[in-house]
Amino acid sequence: MRSKSSANAAESAANRHPLIVFAGNPNAGKTTLFNALTGSSQKVGNYPGVTVERVSSEIKLNGQTVEFLDVPGLYSLDPVSEDERVAVGAIQGAPGFPRPDVMVVVIDASNFERNLYLFSMLAETQIPIVVALSMEDRYAEQGFTIDHDQLQALLGVEVISAAGGKNAEELKQAIWRCLQNPRSARIGPESTRETEITILQERLARQGADLTRKMISEELTNPTNRFDDAPEIAEAFARAREKISQAGKYSDPANISDRYKWSVTVEKQVTRGQPTSNLTLTDRIDRILIHRVFGLAIFIGLMYLVFFSIYTLARPVMDAIQGSFDWAGARISPSLAGVPIIQSLLVDGLLQGVGSVMVFLPQILILFFFIAMLEGTGYLSRAAFLMDRLLGWCGLNGRAFIPLLSSFACAVPGILAARVLPDQRSRLATILVAPLMSCSARLPVYLLLIGAFIEPSFGPYWAGLALFAMHLVGLAAAVPIVWFINKKMLKGNRLPFILELPPYEWPRWRDVWLAMYFRARVFVKTAGTIIVVMSVIIWGLTSFPNFNSPKQERLSGSYLASFGRALEPAFRPAGFDWRITTAILSAFPARETVVPSLGIIFRSESEDRAQLSESIKRATWPDGRKLISPATAIAIMVFFALCCQCMSTLAAIKRETNSLRWPLFVFTYMTVLAYISAVACQWAFGWIR
């Protein structure tokens, strides 16, 4: 699927609406809050020059239009990943980004120290801030509450409770107040000073010297000889002065410790309560879900459940969609009988083509439903934890599991999701194998062939297993390939693997629904553009030059068929005849088109409107042998599993790697691999009858 071009990059900077950015740690509840405030009015675009999604929404605030912008989650203003770089750019108003007017900083109350670490950096941007405090309910379960007034006083900005996206109106009004009367936070070097004073005061108290904060502050500003006889104390003062002068510098290790000391000081002052029980719900769930044995078993079971659901649940809806397109075709056909070219173009070309793509929609929705659920509950990170060693030895890491899993829906969002990998090497390696994951566009081929050749003779359980196996083929091929790529082709240093496991949560239906909605929208848009064009082109290639002959001759004498025949000898070892070859060729721009192509090729031979699977089952070689044996069916499926038949994927790789070299590399290695594997399957499975 294509993402929007970055043409809207240079949006008019002048005369723009006030810009409100939402910043915070990953997993702090930022997206939930953003969704609650904006709903489906979100616009999903791209940041200029990069492919990080820019999620924004224009809303009316007390009659004035303002723009809300959800920046990617970040841990620090010293970015390590593409996502973070963009987030930092958007926050700091780097060239190409308008400077925000107000920043809503989402702080996870149950993860206070680390969230406050980021806050200490955000505060120094001097952008007016409103704090949205999330996850207070979770913190309360652990036995703690946060004193809002005290926190407000310490940070110098308004603090609004925003647990689970509630209090949306109150937060909007706080944003409004901040726009009218901007308040930036009062921390940073000043607060480092405060922290140092506290530390010095405690230290002096231990040695029996009771100094007021004011006295210490004066001593820090104007050193006296008061502590000459206590060199340790004098030295402590000197160190404190040094730290204060250094405050405000990022990624200096000493500075990181300082910021954390500050955040601990704040936490101590605003937190009330006692820890309740040591074992939280998350601890108890994790005992099982990331258990050495059960954890892996459950993971595999879950993945099987996902694919089994796609196979079974989507079926009736798919049939309904296909049925409605067929019905529309049958209704339109007679009225155009006078102009056969237009009739054929509309019914056989456009309706067939678009219908065959829309048929995927239920599967895409189901898959994204599962991904959104797994992500929303926090399970995806556990899966990354379980998978890290398996993916790690060949140079990927557990995090790559997420882009790779997304690639099972579609490689394009998967390739985009590789941005979550902070180090460039793992990111590139992940991008290069993501297209091997069996995307949902391959599903119709599997469903068609498994339905026609495996299910009738071996039953539904083997059919489900075969479908699962087809999804493992690409994964199995990816491991040695990524190992090779990592060892022989990629350079650059790697960052350590760092992964946060957020507490488990019930996913919010609104977030799940929105994730599904946006994916589906992008998908339908693609169907409306590339696929329409491709359908017409394939229709043209299969209908001419003999348009006026009967259907069968029209096709067998078409441009595409002659091309397929020319290549048949090359595909013969895999057991493919010119018809299968033709279908494969027609699918190189977008594999979605293969089933409609098969439909045009095989159905037109049998004049009755039998089901496609019946037609391909009956197809024979010229000598009367069955065209597709189980081995050939497997060979076709494996070919489709491994071959790179997707222009959109190659375009995404080019964009993400900013070079032509990598998409060419991917195209070449996948095509060669697919061909060799198809031939091997024909040999290996020839015994199946």
| Contacting residues toward another protein, per CB under 8 A | 75-76, 78, 80, 110-114, 117, 251, 253, 256-257, 260, 282-283, 286, 290, 292-293, 295-296, 381, 384-386, 388-390, 392, 398, 422, 493-503
**Strands 129-134 and 102-108: what pairing?**
parallel
Q: What six digits make up the tokens of 488?
A: 């022989």
User: Which residues touch 314 (CB under 8 Å, ≥6 apart)?
Assistant: 362, 363, 366
Which is closer to another protein, CB of 133 or CB of 384?
A: 384
d(CA 289, CA 282): 10
User: Which residues touch 387 (CB under 8 Å, ≥6 apart)?
Assistant: 299, 398, 401
Residue 334 phi, psi (nearest 5): -60, -35
User: Reduced to 3 states, what is the DSSP secondary structure of residue 186?
Assistant: coil
User: Which residues touch 443 (CB under 8 Å, ≥6 apart)?
Assistant: 310, 360, 363
Minimum Å gap between C-beta 508 and another protein is 20
DSSP state of 59: E
Minimum Å gap between C-beta 256 and another protein is 5
User: Reduced to 3 states, what is the DSSP secondary structure of residue 228?
Assistant: coil
Which is closer to another protein, CB of 398 or CB of 575?
A: 398
> Among residues 21, 24, 14, which one has the least CA distance to residue 47?
21
Minimum Å gap between C-beta 142 and another protein is 8
Q: What six digits make up the tokens of 384?
A: 């990354």
Which is closer to another protein, CB of 112 or CB of 368?
A: 112
d(CA 683, CA 233): 82
* Distance, CA of 98 to chain centre: 26
Minimum Å gap between C-beta 21 and another protein is 21
User: Reduced to 3 states, what is the DSSP secondary structure of residue 606?
Assistant: coil
Which is closer to another protein, CB of 120 or CB of 344?
A: 120
Minimum Å gap between C-beta 113 and another protein is 4
Which is closer to another protein, CB of 75 or CB of 576?
A: 75
User: Which residues touch 482 (CB under 8 Å, ≥6 apart)?
Assistant: 394, 395, 396, 429, 430, 432, 433
d(CA 220, CA 213): 10
Which is closer to another protein, CB of 386 or CB of 641?
A: 386
- The amino acid at residue 456 is P
Across the beta sheet with 102-108, the strand order is 43-46, 53-61, 64-70, 19-24, 102-108, 129-134, 158-161
Which is closer to another protein, CB of 85 or CB of 603?
A: 85
- The amino acid at residue 203 is R
Minimum Å gap between C-beta 656 and another protein is 22
Minimum Å gap between C-beta 75 and another protein is 6
Residue 529, Cβ neighbours under 10 Å: how many? Answer: 11
Q: Bridge partners of 505?
A: none
**Contact (CB, 8 A) for 77 and 94:** no
Minimum Å gap between C-beta 183 and another protein is 27
Query: DSSP for 119-176?
Result: HHHHHTT---EEEEEE-HHHHHHTTEEE-HHHHHHHHSSEEEE-GGG--HHHHHHHHH
Minimum Å gap between C-beta 460 and another protein is 31
**Contact (CB, 8 A) for 155 and 262:** no
Minimum Å gap between C-beta 114 and another protein is 5
Which is closer to another protein, CB of 259 or CB of 554?
A: 259
Which is closer to another protein, CB of 208 or CB of 496?
A: 496
Which is closer to another protein, CB of 119 or CB of 640?
A: 119
Which is closer to another protein, CB of 385 or CB of 662?
A: 385
**Contact (CB, 8 A) for 187 and 123:** yes
Which is closer to another protein, CB of 111 or CB of 632?
A: 111
Kindly report whether the peptide bond that precedes residue 316 is cis, defined as omega within 30 degrees of 0.
no
> Among residues 171, 302, 192, which one has the least CA distance to residue 239?
192
Minimum Å gap between C-beta 487 and another protein is 17
Which is closer to another protein, CB of 225 or CB of 493?
A: 493
Which is closer to another protein, CB of 268 or CB of 292?
A: 292
Minimum Å gap between C-beta 287 and another protein is 9
**Contact (CB, 8 A) for 441 and 590:** yes
User: Reduced to 3 states, what is the DSSP secondary structure of residue 510?
Assistant: helix
Radius of gyration in angstroms for the set of CA atoms belonging to the chain, rounded to a whole number: 30
End-to-end CA distance of the chain: 39
Which is closer to another protein, CB of 400 or CB of 650?
A: 400
Kindly report whether the peptide bond that precedes residue 18 is cis, defined as omega within 30 degrees of 0.
no
Q: How far is CA 453 from CA 37, 446, 466, 613, in A?
A: 51, 10, 11, 9
Minimum Å gap between C-beta 412 and another protein is 28
Minimum Å gap between C-beta 262 and another protein is 12
Minimum Å gap between C-beta 110 and another protein is 7
Minimum Å gap between C-beta 78 and another protein is 7
Query: DSSP for 331-380?
Result: HHHHHTTT-HHHHHIIIIIIIHHHHHHHTTHHHHHHHHHHHHHHHHHTHH
Which is closer to another protein, CB of 503 or CB of 630?
A: 503
Minimum Å gap between C-beta 209 and another protein is 24
DSSP state of 56: E
Which is closer to another protein, CB of 139 or CB of 446?
A: 139
